[in-house]
């Protein structure tokens, strides 16, 4: 695995295992890893976002949105990402169930999903259930220590975009009463028991360096994932938004994406990456021309002289991508995709042959840019707001939707999918191989370079969904 460092270079990451007992077959050595007192921890959640000006006409102006600060940023509706990542038109996730796990939830999620669906012409889900196994909490926006506002925005992101990319799937929002690890894993256990064969998305994580004194709680989560594996449930998690080090001096992965039974989703941005367009630029794409926002190409005619298009552009296909690493004024502090060796878990067999010594994330990637983010609707604080949201938490629910499509096509759940993904990682055309960029967060000393094949910044890359689903169903390259 290739590192990029500001000051020093160490080619092997074994020195980063902080006294953990490692087991070549998996995380079984974890139980004896720590002797420090066992304390609960809480998951932070504050998805990177920019509010869209109410004067912006959505979706007429896509793929551009004016923010409340006057910038014009790239923004996407579901049709743009479905086109760019080549989602199949004959699958919608029918008969499948996606579990969205969030703390606190959102009191207006049903309304927000309905507005989202009406705006973008998406049918309502066949079933949308809010499941509170430990009791549904009362929304308290004045709870800064747990950032209930951030969690409620995350809830809108997760539910709206899992549904958007698999509109025929049932959605179950699994709500924990607090953001503590114990509370989240308690409700997860209940959902796993109730929904065998489903897909579970976790758009949250915490640096391993914060939880290395809590072996019992890591095992609580891992036991959930063992139960999920037995129930043929696919489990995914976002890889983090603070680069390879999570803001510290040495690489450390984000948990729970670092668990070997979880599919870790990293982040990308368009190549070329377009930060913003100045206040009132002329925007145009001529009739019949193919234009690009980096990740997504589109065709005209569409034009404007005010910074937001007055006629919608038509998404055409895939452009290009690089590792997500934003350092512009909209990303303050800077953000970058997570991805690093785990200090908890030994190398799983599916990662053998990659030159690794421990479980290392991410496994796959997905669009995570803020300029190039996805649109969500949110009204928990009053009138409906629109946000452009980025981060790897946007990728986990959309990858859950991809697995729902594959399960529908197969007629049976794929379940634990990591071995299959690594088997198909060398298939021609299943992934967009990300070879440009790194996940060295600005101001930190180390990150990992993208390169051909699997790498520690983007995994195998982003999906060509139609071909990947076909190969997942058939179990081989086509």
Residue 308 has pLDDT above 90, yes or no: no
Asked if residue 3 belongs to a domain, the reply is: no
| Residue % of the chain over a pLDDT of 70 | 89
pLDDT confidence of residue 305:
64
Q: Does 311 share its domain with 343?
A: no
Q: How far is CA 357 from CA 252, 265, 344, 459, in A?
A: 14, 20, 12, 16
Q: How confident is the model at residue 34 (pLDDT cuts 50, 70, 90)?
A: very low
Asked if residue 379 belongs to a domain, the reply is: yes
Which string of DSSP letters, residue by residue, matches 328-378?
Answer: STTSSS-EE----EEEEEEPPGGGTTSS-SEEES-SEEEE--STTEEEEEE
The per-residue pLDDT for range 53-72, each reduced to its tens digit, is 887 767 778 898 888 888 88
pLDDT confidence of residue 26:
40
More confident residue, 410 or 209: 410
Range of the domain at 219: 85-268+333-474
pLDDT confidence of residue 135:
94
pLDDT confidence of residue 62:
86
pLDDT confidence of residue 59:
77
pLDDT confidence of residue 180:
93
Q: Does 198 share its domain with 149?
A: yes
pLDDT confidence of residue 38:
45
Q: Does 401 share its domain with 467?
A: yes
pLDDT confidence of residue 5:
47
Buried b (16+ CB within 10 A) or exposed e, 100-123: bbbbbbbbbbeebbebbbeebebe
Q: Does 278 share its domain with 423?
A: no
Asked if residue 145 belongs to a domain, the reply is: yes
Asked if residue 451 belongs to a domain, the reply is: yes
Asked if residue 11 belongs to a domain, the reply is: no
Provide the token pair at 150. 């951030």
Provide the token pair at 474. 């058939």
The per-residue pLDDT for range 373-388, each reduced to its tens digit, is 999 999 999 999 999 9
The per-residue pLDDT for range 83-125, each reduced to its tens digit, is 999 999 999 999 999 999 999 999 999 999 999 999 999 999 9
Asked if residue 39 belongs to a domain, the reply is: no
Q: What ranges in 27-147 are assigned the alpha helix state H?
A: 78-84, 109-120
Q: Does 243 share its domain with 203?
A: yes
Domain boundary (256, 288, 319) is at: 319
Q: Which of helix, strand or coil describes residue 241? A: coil
Q: Does 297 share its domain with 377?
A: no
Residue 31 has pLDDT above 70, yes or no: no
- Count the helix, strand and coil residues of the chain and give each as a percent rounded to the nearest 5: 25, 25, 50
- Measured CA to CA, the distance from residue 449 to residue 457 in angstroms comes to 6
Task: Tell me the average pLDDT across 70-88.
Answer: 94
Residue 32 has pLDDT above 60, yes or no: no
**Total count of domains within the chain:** 2
pLDDT confidence of residue 28:
37
Range scoring the smallest mean pLDDT among 8-12, 179-183, 337-341, 438-442: 8-12
Mean pLDDT (the chain) is 89
Taking a C-beta distance cutoff of 8 angstroms, is the pair 467, 430 a contact? yes
Residue 36 has pLDDT above 50, yes or no: no
Q: Does 66 share its domain with 110?
A: no
Asked if residue 80 belongs to a domain, the reply is: no
Task: Tell me the average pLDDT across 14-42.
Answer: 39
Q: How far is CA 309 from CA 66, 80, 110, 354, in A?
A: 10, 15, 29, 46
Q: Does 217 share its domain with 282?
A: no
The owner of tokens 């190409």 is: 297
Q: Put residue 81 in one of left, alpha, beta given phi > 0 → left and psi -120 to 50 → alpha.
A: alpha
Burial classification of residue 229, based on how many CB atoms lie within 10 Å of its CB (0-12 exposed, 13-18 middle, 19 or more buried): middle
Task: Tell me the average pLDDT across 37-61.
Answer: 81
Q: Does 440 share its domain with 460?
A: yes
Provide the token pair at 75. 């923004």
pLDDT confidence of residue 4:
57
Q: Does 260 share its domain with 277?
A: no
The per-residue pLDDT for range 124-143, each reduced to its tens digit, is 999 999 999 999 999 999 87
Q: Does 264 share its domain with 278?
A: no
Q: What is the CATH number of the domain that holds 238?
A: 3.40.50.200
Q: Does 177 share its domain with 207?
A: yes
Task: Tell me the average pLDDT across 341-369.
Answer: 97
Residue 442's CB: how many other CB atoms inside 10 A?
A: 14
Domain boundary (287, 319, 351) is at: 319
Residue 30 has pLDDT above 50, yes or no: no
pLDDT confidence of residue 72:
85
Cβ-based neighbours of 384, under 8 Å, separated by 6 or more: 112, 115, 377, 378
Task: Tell me the average pLDDT across 16-30.
Answer: 32
For 111-157, where are the E strands, in sequence order? 128-131
The per-residue pLDDT for range 256-287, each reduced to its tens digit, is 999 999 999 999 999 999 887 665 566 788 88
Task: Tell me the average pLDDT across 253-258.
Answer: 97
pLDDT confidence of residue 60:
77
pLDDT confidence of residue 330:
85
The owner of tokens 């479905």 is: 82
The per-residue pLDDT for range 420-464, each reduced to its tens digit, is 999 999 999 999 999 999 999 999 999 999 999 999 999 999 999
The per-residue pLDDT for range 159-175, each reduced to its tens digit, is 999 999 999 999 999 99
Range scoring the smallest mean pLDDT among 206-215, 274-283, 316-325: 274-283
Asked if residue 285 belongs to a domain, the reply is: yes
Residue 255 has pLDDT above 60, yes or no: yes
């Amino acid at each position: 695995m290739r590192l990029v460092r500001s000051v020093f270079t160490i080619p092997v990451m074994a020195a980063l295992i902080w006294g953990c007992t490692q087991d070549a077959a998996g995380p079984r050595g974890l139980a004896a890893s720590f002797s420090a007192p066992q304390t609960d921890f809480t998951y932070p959640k504050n998805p990177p976002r920019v509010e869209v000006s109410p004067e912006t006409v959505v979706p007429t102006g896509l793929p551009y949105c004016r923010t409340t600060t006057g910038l014009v940023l790239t923004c996407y509706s579901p049709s743009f990402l479905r086109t760019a990542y080549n989602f199949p038109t004959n699958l919608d996730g029918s008969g499948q169930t996606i579990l969205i796990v969030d703390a606190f939830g959102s009191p207006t999620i049903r309304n927000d999903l309905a507005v989202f669906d009406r705006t973008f012409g998406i049918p309502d889900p066949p079933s949308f259930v809010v499941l509170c196994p430990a009791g549904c909490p009362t929304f308290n926006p004045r709870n800064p220590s747990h950032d209930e506002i951030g969690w409620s925005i995350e809830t809108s992101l997760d539910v709206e975009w899992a549904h958007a990319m698999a509109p025929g799937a049932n959605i179950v929002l699994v709500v924990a009463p607090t953001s503590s690890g114990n509370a989240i894993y308690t409700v997860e256990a209940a959902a796993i028991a109730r929904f065998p064969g489903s897909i579970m998305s976790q758009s949250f994580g915490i640096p391993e360096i914060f939880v290395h004194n809590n072996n019992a709680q890591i095992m609580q989560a891992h036991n959930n994932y063992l139960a999920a594996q037995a129930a043929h449930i696919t489990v995914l998690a976002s890889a983090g938004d603070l680069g390879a080090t999570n803001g510290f001096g040495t690489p450390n992965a984000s948990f729970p994406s670092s668990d070997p039974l979880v599919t870790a989703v990293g982040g990308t941005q368009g190549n070329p990456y377009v930060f913003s367009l100045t206040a009132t630029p002329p925007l145009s794409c001529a009739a019949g021309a193919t234009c690009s926002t980096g990740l997504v190409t589109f065709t005209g005619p569409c034009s404007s002289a005010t910074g937001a298009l007055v006629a919608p552009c038509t998404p055409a296909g895939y452009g290009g991508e690089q590792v997500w690493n934003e350092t512009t004024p909209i990303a303050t502090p800077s953000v970058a995709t997570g991805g690093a060796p785990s200090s908890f878990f030994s190398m799983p067999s599916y990662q053998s042959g990659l030159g690794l010594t421990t479980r290392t994330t991410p496994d796959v990637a997905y669009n995570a840019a803020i300029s190039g983010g996805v649109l969500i609707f949110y009204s928990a604080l009053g009138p409906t707001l629109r946000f452009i949201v980025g981060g790897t938490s946007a990728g986990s629910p959309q990858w859950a939707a991809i697995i729902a499509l594959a399960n529908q096509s197969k007629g049976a759940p794929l379940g634990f999918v990591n071995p299959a993904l690594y088997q198909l990682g060398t298939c021609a055309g299943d992934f967009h191989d990300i070879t440009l960029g790194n996940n060295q967060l600005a101001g930190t000393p180390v990150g990992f370079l993208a390169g051909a094949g699997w790498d520690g910044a983007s995994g195998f890359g982003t999906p060509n969904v139609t071909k990947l689903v076909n190969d997942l169903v058939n179990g081989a390259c086509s």
